[in-house]
A and B are shown apart, each in its own frame.
Chain A
Amino acid sequence: ETGVTQSPTHLIKTRGQQVTLRCSSQSGHNTVSWYQQALGQGPQFIFQYYREEENGRGNFPPRFSGLQFPNYSSELNVNALELDDSALYLCASSLGGVSGNTIYFGEGSWLTVV
């Protein structure tokens, strides 16, 4: 139990639709990162938020966007869904500003695009 909760756990969307995934970080953590994990692959970094500001972005198109709220919870939004967006989306929280600090993962949201 990491204290990081994600919702929904599973969802199915149609190509072209939009989706919002949500994450509540561990208490006291001010940094949230999002990862995409395709089947049989390692997690790929999407972006990170630190105190409500985007603080790093991986190689993902602009249709992947996010928000972090004052309570440090976060949302991942994906517009114009494509079949290849089908994956497990992982949220991770940490206490930012400390290199090598442990990040804690939620159990993920399974997205299937049909």
Chain B
Amino acid sequence: AQSVTQLGSHVSVSEGALVLLRCNYSSSVPPYLFWYVQYPNQGLQLLLKYTSAATLVKGINGFEAEFKKSETSFHLTKPSAHMSDAAEYFCAVSEGGGSYIPTFGRGTSLIVHP
């Protein structure tokens, strides 16, 4: 069975500081991993995804994530936070196969201070 744990329901950073959002997964087979962002009153938008190619994945808006099999982690980072990055971030895992059904974490709210 697949599952995702996002460490920290809230992360607070200053504008210009490093953003680090943590995600650990559990999967019985090599996983597909995703990060989504949700702005207030909107649906989810894909930031990036890992599908067994390069372990360092670059996404939109300057975000990137590194797949570490030994640590079962897929942490999301951004070198310099912008005020516009304030949103809810969701990590998701899929074990692939015929029906692609991802399992989502509970989300991490990113707060950016001026």
A residues lining the B interface (CB < 8 Å): 2, 4, 31, 33, 35, 40-45, 48, 50, 55-56, 58, 90, 92, 94, 96-108
Given A90-B44, A102-B46, the answer on whether A56 and B99 have CB atoms closer than 8 Å is yes
Task: Known A-B contacts: A102-B46, A106-B43. Give 16 more (CB < 8 A).
Answer: A31-B100, A33-B101, A40-B107, A41-B107, A45-B102, A50-B99, A55-B99, A92-B44, A94-B100, A96-B99, A98-B100, A99-B51, A100-B52, A103-B102, A105-B43, A108-B42
Report the stretch among B14-22, B62-70, B72-80, B89-97 that lies at the interface.
B89-97
Asked whether, in the complex, the Cβ of A99 is within 8 Å of the Cβ of B49, the reply is no
Q: Determine whether the beta carbon of B43 is less than 8 Å from that of A45.
A: no
- Complex contacts, A33 vs chain B, CB 8 Å: 101
A-B contact count (CB 8 A): 68
Residues of A within 8 A of B106 (CB): 40-42
| Dominant SS among interface residues on chain B | loop
Which of A42, A45, A56, A106 has the most C-beta atoms of chain B within 10 angstroms of its own C-beta?
A42
Q: Which of A43, A50, A92, A107 has the most B CB atoms < 10 Å from its CB?
A: A43
**Residues of chain B at interface, number, CB under 8 A:** 25
Contact of B100 with A103 in the complex, beta carbons under 8 Å = yes
Output the least CB separation between A82 and chain B (Å).
22
